[in-house]
Structure 1
């Protein structure tokens, strides 16, 4: 009940009721429909009784000055409005029928609107479908921030997020990913495309990808080289030790230089780190391992403090935002490296 009252008392509703003629038909219907959500969509698949709007033409021979002759509230529980239009009517100035039909309706006494109400059954459906046909080809009108409108769902399918359950599992704001549908639909997907996605998502931060960075991979005991046994042909399958470097399944994301606040927002445990990881995994479809390298210019590194209280500046984080010394003789940037894993970011492994 409180939600319904807030809808009818909305200042925009008051303005629409007062100045309906100043709005176009499509603009007025769109605004009222959105303010009255979650009522059934005008001209949609729901019941007409569940819609917030009813349509009828103006019963007059006056020259129309607007698409809309008036808007009036006809119910409050739930909110319901009636729109009087000046077009697409079986009576009124634009009627295709002889004028005497309109004259007969005008001559009827007040309260005797049986014929008009009968004709309005057709008017409501006709105008509802007219509005729905206009909405159908205007994505900016039917767009939902949640990405649940039909066209967004089709676009999300290019990203592999057509199923709602899959989209929710990523933890990403799916509506922000729609702009990258073209890049995600490329086959094969390129490193430069991932650089562009991450840079754009994080407001222009410089992103670089180094491919084939290499990572140590353990050799199972049953596959290790043994003299006179298996995997002992030099130059072919012989390997000393119990691990080898694999350069085919890993890459490095380098982000920055960036400000201290942005740097902190991308450290392990932060929402930013989760988004970077989710975007990278979604783009490469979990077939590669990745390292994240964050760069911060030396002039942005805060003074090292063992303990900082409120007002003393940001706290120093060992292995993440603190270096000894904090400044070097040649300037430049300091960096910290973290490793992605299915469970989250591991690290840090420092490389100065």
Structure 2
């Protein structure tokens, strides 16, 4: 297995989290970093496992408003974010692949089944803070508790973001008071917590606004949610540099919160099983699976080395291959029950999936392989 240092080096280019950025994020409402929400049920995937798993008004007045899937929404959620079909970066870490790739999958809205399009709904809530406006537009969520939300971040004085040179991806710049520290998502009653990844669309960027997508997975499933969701803008005042344990950095944290929005309908997840008790649940947005005997700590952690779908035409769609450096997901989380959920970076036509292959280790044990067949 790769050591912790190799893991961190391999992921640095993709997540771009230097020590300062981690400190700033940790100060913001207890968050651990960009894409890391405060967690009460479940926990963040440990760094070693993370690399193995890897990176309104209408509602208030007229109830839930469901939206037909637009080409703009599909292009944002299942597009390439202005980065190209595949992003590649070098790790240079000993024991890790020299190059990592992440691919994105566009989709034609006209080919999407009603089971997907009927579950896209208008949200239309917003929050304002530090000169910024966060406007949440549309959302889709599945039974696994994962999904995607489209948004626009704007500021008449200019939107300040940080670019990751190796990949061209954009991030909130927590080192600059003119920026925001994070965009976060929460359950309205804090019944569950989320892991998420905010991806800005380079192609939409202007001096004063930018569009983006927040991909999320719950530590739990959609059935565990309270039924209400909120989003927040987080920022700070003061100097984030120069602090230590005895003399913390002199900063004041702030948060602006949207109005609550209801969850609405969810995309059904299709089950896959094998004869050993391994189970998986597939949707166009996420993959959730559970290996028998797996837990969320120590020798009970199942650490995947390879995860891929076999399609009806015999082709493979790889979600994660730690040996080949393939990471076709935005992030993954490990829940208390030992289940692992991936936020997929490519649209998955579930109706074309025949089986799921998962290989990995339970703790430091021997490698295991599971082939789960989609259930009719």
Q: TM over 0.5: same fold?
A: no
Higher strand share: 2
- TM-score for the superposition, normalised by structure 1: 0.23
Name the larger-Rg structure: 1
Structure in which a larger fraction of residues adopt helix: 1
